[in-house]
Amino acid sequence: MAYSAKVMEHFANPRNVGEMKDPSGVGEVGNPKCGDIMRMYLKVENNIITDVSFMTFGCGAAIATSSMATEMIKGKTIDEALKLTNKAVMEALDGLPPVKVHCSVLAEQAIKSAVADYYRRQGIDPTPIVGEIPECEACHV
């Protein structure tokens, strides 16, 4: 299966790439399957994600899914962002080849990790809200 036009477009012109100054939360996760790393920055005001950016050492699929994921959570509430699944991101990109599904999990988990950091910075235990950041299911197949 080849990459969809949307994946190629987000890979070629990724949105929201780069480091953020004074973020409200930063999350970093590694992909157990390939060892690649993703860092996600969030700016939160009144429970709304007003800005988001990412940096990754992941592959093209990781770049495209993170680009799309950042677009999907910008302007949303934290609750809405926590509900974003890698599946929804993949659907928005018209799918990924099966061997690349694990790459899309990086974005979902990095968002959760950044939200957890946001809560921790405010002295709030994130685990009841964010949950344990789960390992990628695709990585166990």
Show the tokens assigned to 57.
Answer: 């050492």
Question: Is 58 among the residues that bind ligand FES (CB under 6 A)?
Answer: yes
Closest separation between CB of residue 20 and ligand FES, Å?
A: 21
Using the rule CB under 6 A, is 64 a contact of ligand FES?
no
Instruction: Give alpha helix (H) positions in 26-100.
Output: 60-73, 78-83, 86-92
Binding flag, residue 31, ligand FES (CB under 6 A) = yes
- Calpha distance 72→67 (Å, rounded): 9
Residues 98-127 that bind ligand FES (CB under 6 A): 103, 106
- Contacts for 7 with CB less than 8 Å, ≥ 6 apart: 60, 61, 64, 93, 94, 96
Residue placing its CB nearer to ligand FES in the complex, 44 or 101:
101
* Residue 62 binds ligand FES, judged by CB under 6 A: yes
Asked if 59 is an active-site residue, the reply is no
- Nearer to ligand FES among residue 28 and residue 36 (C-beta): 36
Determine if 138 is a binding residue for ligand FES (CB under 6 A). Answer: no
Phi, psi of 134 (to 5 degrees): -75, 155
Q: Which residues are catalytic?
A: 34, 103
